[in-house]
Chain A
Amino acid sequence: MGKYVLKRIGLAFLTTFIILSLTYILVKLLPYERPLGGDPIQIAYFDKQYNLGYVGRYEQEMPELGKLLYKSPAFHGRSNYYYQVPVLKQYVNWLKNIITRWDWGVSKTYQPNVKASTIIMKRIGYSIRLNILSSVWAVPVGLLLGIWAALKKNSITDHIISTIVMIFIAIPSFVLISFVLRIFAYNLGWLPSTWPPDTASTWTKIKGYIIPVFCLSFAPICGYCRFTRAELCEVMESEYLLLARTKGLTRRQAIVRHALKNAMVPIFPSILAEFIGILGGSMILESLYGIPGIGKLFVLSLNYKDYDILFVDMAIFTTIALLAGVVTDLSYGFIDPRIRMGAKK
């Protein structure tokens, strides 16, 4: 088991490395965006790019190199020719800095000169809190709704729950928030329309969580509900549950002691999968609600073309997702002792 866990963790890091490498190379291959304007603006722009280490400079045209050259005037009527520093060379330097100095680079445009890791660390707390709160809210509500629907199978209650679930599972959180904001923030004025600053009162800050947590957890609630209902219905129709009832257990006893326990085997791992889903959903939602988390930062770093931040953010998202996958696999063994991970036949 231990060997298997180590192997899975190792594979998770290998996958992270591959994803980050591909991301780095693909992102760095994006074309450059030059400013509009005359010579002073062009010179200033390329000076800056050169100082940032994004481009290299030739003092004469070298077309035989086949590189994309940008011509910019220089002193004494001469021209400088700028080319993008080879991506692989940048990549090797980047890797070297991480491995040898744990240096993930500094922000170039978003928060100039500040360490990318510092920027991430200042924001990760908001995202984690938001995602955990959403999960904490979504899991019990989703399970209870699912159980209720299963117990009332084919009744009007079941139909209402199932219909609502089908509708809301199809609505992404960033669409839902527009409606919620319109009703509860703008029309009724009960809740803040944007994320309150840290200096706001505790009550305002608590209220600030309601809209994003509600919107983020709606889809998971529907997911849990649907999954739980399906699993529970299947278990409840199984022969061993019939046997339990014939042995004299009450319906409540049979459901709690046998049906729910068995239904949880596939449901529990899905909780972790949904957590990863919440992380993804929070990227857009954080932007829309102004939450200073790493999801919003991911979008911003793309907009700003601030790649060092993007890579740290990407590394965190990837690591969380892959480790959650490992935990999910391992959780099967804990929930159902009959499942043995990595056991020899």
Chain B
Amino acid sequence: MKKIFALLLALIMVVGILAGCKKTPDPKPVDPTKAPEQETAAPEVTLPPMADWDGKYIERDDYKAYIKHDLDFLYATIKDQLGDTAGAVDEAMAAGKQAIDFAGTVAEVRTAYAGAYQAILDAVPTFDGLVSYKKLSNAERTDILGILERFAVTTGITGISLFENGGYVMYNPRVTLGTENFIVGYGFGILPEGNITEDLEYEANPAWKRYYHIFEANDPGTVNYLNDQGSQVGDLYAYIAASFFTNFMNETKDGYDWVPELAMEKPVAVNDDDGDGACTTWKFQVRTGADGLKYTTNSTMADRAAFNNRPVALEDYEYAFKLLLTQQNALYRGSELANTKSGAIAGAKDFYNATENGFDEAAWANVGIKTYEEGGKSYFEVTFTEEQTQFYCMYYIASSLYMPVPEEFINLVGVENYLSFNKDATESPVDNSLALGAYALEQWDSDMQIVYGKNPNYVYTDTKYAIPGVHVKIFPAAQEDTTAGFNEFIAGHFDASGIPQEYLNEYRNDPRTRNTTGDSNFKLNVNATNEETWEYLFGEEGVVTQTQKDAYWEVKPCLGNNHFVKALSLSIDRLTFANARGSIPAVDYLSSNYMSDPENGISYSTTDAHKKAIEGLIEDTDGYGYSLELAREYFRVALTELEAEGAYTPGTKENPTVIHIEIAWMRPTQEEQFHNEIKNFLETAFNDESVCGGVYQLSVDFWVGNEWDDVYYDKMMLGQFDIGFGSISGNPLDPIGFVSVLSSDQEISGGFTLNWGVDTNDPDAYPIVYEGKRYSFDALYNAVNGKAIVSEGKNEVSLSFEYTNIVKNDDGSYSGQFLIKATLPDITTITVDDIACCNYERYYNGDKQYVECYLSDPACGSFNVEDKGNGEYLVTFTVNADIAADYATGSGTSENPEGQTGFDFYYTMVFDGTEQSGLYYSVNDNFVVE
């Protein structure tokens, strides 16, 4: 009996061991949406015998489970927005899963998935027509951002996020913080709401002992933020600057409020004709000398000291813009303001272009900046090129760059010396600046210290900014030695410092330590193109850039497989990686600083829309997208698929097929700082015996350029990379505008696309469904940021133009044709107002006038517009012979016909009931004057 019992026990154990010795663990793809299991409802059918399984690295049922999980995930992506199409999609899902069940080989499973995918696409109609979601509520726009983000995350165009650049900061106990909890987008409120109640022993000057002591590695030599492109000068300028509107912590100390600073009220709409709360022109009352607003300077020079306590005049507000936008002043931020698209001021660009030789009164008249007095009050009025809500009007006009300054002061110190040293360094920024902000420059010892004292004339000087000054020590050792500043802090010489990596473990939990969020997420950007896509984007005739054949990048098929890229992402232990570096682990595309509701300080990263968008990245992981086992599973899935496609051939265990992936970095130091650990994560995950038995080997290689930005300009922007490290930061108050850089359309991304793979204007690339209709990423992006013309789900331009180069007539005149096509002819009418003959060479040679004449003038020529129907307008035009001769200076030649002439076509478009002016310019026409 004992023997029989022992035998039975042994038998049970053997069965148990065999069951536990499956080649791969049970897959655990979880349906996060709890989608109904449709298979049970499928009708019974007679099946042909199933083909033999040809996958080597994963069992058939396991593979099918992953593919079904993909299908479930897709369903979860769109189900909330399906509306009436939900039934059809459910049917497509059920049929798709059944087809997968019946599939025998890898290829059959993939074909079944593709069929299901297409059926789902077919079940949801694409959007057609004109659409705008810009004026939706913040919550609704946040939902759309979530949809866009989920598309981007799923298709891999967000890259693989690693960490957010926030971390740990220590504060001297003598500093009372405004709040103990970091407020995203605001901070701890140290200067405005905090205080210092003890002296700093180390400070030798008794007057400065209660000043807030911080350090900068370098002395920038200026606080002229108007002409600077970095952030350091901006930070130093901010102490002395005031703006129309500012932020202060709210009463509950968990957020911040927008309050008028130089303004006296929030903006009031001027031309909100449709009453939707958005318009182009806004006005608000501003403070002047009459309201007690005065300039402050601590200069001891008599002519500068004369400006101390000088009342602010209303014209000073307008002069600040004149100063900034006059091109002759060559101010960096002026050029940026003139060329910006977000929050652009009407007429600013034209004024900038017209002022290369100095201020132009006539051009200024068309700039959307006005000041006036009304009823004894002073008003500032701004006109934007696009409609803005009250909040975004405040946001765009709140820049401290627009701080008023008297014209006489600029005339006295000189534009080139404003906020800086003069040429002989006999005048410092203390002498060449006027403060309206919380502090005023008190002392500037080059390469030693910059000291600010409290500005008694500041608007909120009685209620805010209790700390009497700021002492900025110039501490170059911080640049050479990352621990130097921290050592000074520990010695009690500074009031704040970040914690270097070496000291993290020791001070992470110190009572003086606080956590902060970051403003940028650093990522591994991925080139997921295949050869065909790469050729289209970057080949000899590429739409992004043109590359010679011998410089073609060898794209890696594995990176085009989304399961492989997902496995790479799952391989990285972000928590360990980030903790070791004092930063914040991140799987998100946007950092915590991006606000979904900027007016109320709600971070997008806390919203449900965002959480849903990234659920695919974190399900079944440690919460930061890391699961070594799942990574290996996805590597098995990917290798199975890649082999089935014929992309790779396995080697042997002794001589494996090596898959090389190169990661491009910014700096050589990053090899030790980041690369080696990332390489270890990826190779450890892939090269494990359990993945493929050693017949493949992953090798992660290091690349770095001569300059830190080579990784952008020479690699990622040109498609010359596998994986590239980097980050781009945008406007934290406009995350929905910042996702533009995810678009593969260079017009939308501004040329800053870093991840390549899907065509973001292809509505079939991965379904984006909003209110029962499918869109491409580009179409929905444009709709939520303005207006989009959508045709079959794709984003389209409102008008397209076909310009035919002009030809010489027998009488010496020149004629040409120009065809305008409306994309939506039913709601579009076009009127051509005039055509200007332009000679750009004359402009560049100093005339500053590039229009030779207008064809509405018979002395110049003539033009005729023919309405050909269906939204097509044919413009035929002629330039008289004598006028054409004037082009000789700017025209091309027979050998080099690309000249400096062109035609500007001014038209008026009535689009969907809204009239707007337009301009098309022919560039580099072949206008050859013989």
The residues of A with any CB-CB pair to B shorter than 8 Å are 31-41, 43-45, 47-48, 51, 59-60, 73, 75-78, 106-107, 110-115, 118-119, 122-123, 174, 178, 181-182, 185-186, 189, 193-201, 204, 284, 286-290, 292, 296, 299-300, 303-304
Given known contacts A47-B330, A113-B416, A198-B445, is B713 in contact with A290 (CB within 8 Å)? no
Q: Is the pair B898, A60 in contact by a Cβ cutoff of 8 Å?
A: yes
Find B709's partner among A36, A48, A197, A200 (CB 8 Å cutoff). Answer: A36
Instruction: Give A299 to B443 CA distance when docked, in angstroms.
Output: 25
Taking residues whose C-beta sits less than 8 angstroms from the other chain, chain B's interface range is 35 or more
Stretch from B285-293, B485-493, B675-683 contacting the other chain: B485-493
Assess whether A33 is in contact with B707, with CB atoms less than 8 Å apart. yes
Asked whether B491 lies within 8 Å of A185 as measured between CB atoms, the reply is yes
- Supply 11 A–B pairs (Cβ within 8 Å), ascending by A: A33-B707, A37-B728, A43-B335, A59-B841, A78-B921, A118-B425, A186-B491, A189-B491, A199-B445, A292-B446, A303-B479
Contact A47 B332 (CB under 8 A): yes
Min distance, Cβ B375 to any Cβ of chain A, angstroms: 37
Known: A31-B707, A41-B336, A194-B493. 19 other contacts (CB 8 A): A33-B709, A34-B713, A36-B712, A39-B341, A48-B227, A76-B902, A77-B921, A122-B425, A193-B493, A194-B488, A196-B204, A197-B449, A199-B445, A286-B476, A289-B477, A290-B447, A292-B447, A303-B218, A303-B479
Inter-chain contacts of B686 with A (CB < 8 A): none
Known: A38-B752, A122-B425, A290-B475. A113 touches B417 (CB 8 A): yes
Q: B490 to chain A: which residues have CB within 8 Å?
A: 186
Contact B424 A118 (CB under 8 A): yes
* Nearest-neighbor residue (CB-CB) of A177 within chain B: B477
Q: Using Cβ atoms and an 8 Å threshold, which residues of chain B touch A286? A: 476
**Contact call A290/B900, Cβ cutoff below 8 A:** no
B708 at the A/B interface (Cβ < 8 Å)?
Answer: yes
A78 to B920 CA separation, bound complex (whole angstroms): 11
Chain B interface residues toward A at CB < 8 A: 204-205, 218-219, 221-222, 224, 227, 229, 327, 330, 332-341, 349, 353, 416-417, 420-425, 443, 445-449, 473-477, 479-481, 484, 487-488, 490-491, 493, 706-709, 712-713, 728, 750-752, 838, 840-841, 844, 898, 900, 902, 904, 921, 923-924
Please, how many angstroms separate the alpha-carbon atoms of A320 and B769 in the complex? Answer: 73
Chain A to chain B: the 7 pairs with minimum beta-carbon distance, closest first: A111-B221, A38-B750, A292-B447, A44-B335, A40-B339, A44-B336, A51-B330
Report A-chain residues with C-beta under 8 Å of the C-beta of B484: 288
Inside 8 A of A296's CB, which chain B residues have their CB?
A: 447, 476
In angstroms, Cα B426 to Cα A119, docked, is 11
Selected contact of A123 from candidates B447, B493, B707, CB within 8 Å = B447
Distance of A45 Cα from B420 Cα, bound (Å): 20
Contact B423 A115 (CB under 8 A): yes
Q: A41-B336, A60-B898 are in contact. Are A204 and B204 (CB under 8 A)?
A: yes
Chain A residues within an 8 Å CB radius of B751? 38-39
Q: In the complex, what residue of chain A is closest to B421 when comparing beta carbons? A: A114
Q: Is the CB of A45 within 8 A of B332?
A: yes
Q: Are B332 and A44 in contact (CB under 8 A)?
A: yes
Nearest CB in chain B: distance from A114 CB, A: 5
A178 to chain B, nearest CB (A): 7
Contact B712 A118 (CB under 8 A): no
In angstroms, Cα B645 to Cα A154, docked, is 80
Task: Report yes or no: B330 in contact with A45, Cβ–Cβ below 8 A.
Answer: no
Q: Is the CB of A111 within 8 A of B840?
A: no
Flag if A48 contacts B921 (CB, 8 Å). Answer: no
Rounded to whole angstroms, the CA-CA distance of A76 and B449 in the bound complex is: 46
CB-CB < 8 A to A189: which residues of B? 491
Q: In the complex, A288→B483 CA distance in Å?
A: 11
Q: How far is the CB of A16 from chain B (nearest CB, A)?
A: 26
Q: A34-B713, A36-B728, A197-B445 are in contact. Are A288 and B487 (CB under 8 A)?
A: no
Please determine whether A39 and B750 come into contact, CB atoms closer than 8 angstroms: yes
Residues of chain B with a CB closer than 8 A to A77's CB: 921, 923
Contacts of B446 in A (CB 8 A): 111, 122-123, 292
Q: Smallest Cβ distance from B13 to chain A, in angstroms?
A: 63
Q: CB distance A300 to B448 under 8 Å? A: no
Cα A113 to Cα B227 with chains together (Å)? 12
Q: CB-nearest residue of chain A relative to B221?
A: A111
Contacts of A75 in B (CB 8 A): 349, 353
Which listed residue (B204, B336, B353, B443) contacts A40, Cβ 8 A? Answer: B336
Would A113 and B420 count as touching, CB distance under 8 A? Answer: yes
* A107/B221 in contact, CB under 8 A: yes
Residues of A near B422 (CB, < 8 A) are: 113-114
Give the residues in chain B near A303, CB-CB below 8 Å: 218, 479
Contact across chains for A34 and B477 when beta carbons are under 8 A apart? no
Asked whether, in the complex, the Cβ of B420 is within 8 Å of the Cβ of A112, the reply is: yes
* Whole-angstrom CA separation of A12 from B219 in the bound complex: 34
Q: Assess the A40–B487 pair: CB atoms within 8 A.
A: no
Cβ of B311 to closest chain A Cβ, rounded Å:
30
Complex interface: chain B residues within 8 A of A35 (CB): 229
Asked if B332 and A48 sit within 8 Å, CB to CB, the answer is yes
Is the beta-carbon distance between A288 and B229 smaller than 8 angstroms?
Answer: no
Chain A residues whose C-beta falls within 8 Å of the C-beta of B709 in the assembled complex: 33-34, 36
Residue of A nearest to B713 (CB): A34
Give A38 to B717 CA distance when docked, in angstroms.
13
A residues less than 8 Å from B205 (CB atoms): 199
Contact B423 A194 (CB under 8 A): no
Q: Is B221 a contact partner of A110 (Cβ separation < 8 A)?
A: yes
What B residues does A292 contact at CB under 8 A? Answer: 446-448
A174 and B484 CA atoms in complex are apart in Å by 13
The answer on a CB contact under 8 Å between B332 and A78 is no
Would you call B923 and A287 a contact (CB within 8 A)? no
B432–chain A nearest beta-carbon distance, Å: 11
The residue in chain B whose Cβ has the minimal distance to the Cβ of A38 is: B750
- List of B residues within 8 angstroms of A76 by Cβ: 838, 840, 902, 904, 921, 923
- A107 and B447 CA atoms in complex are apart in Å by 15
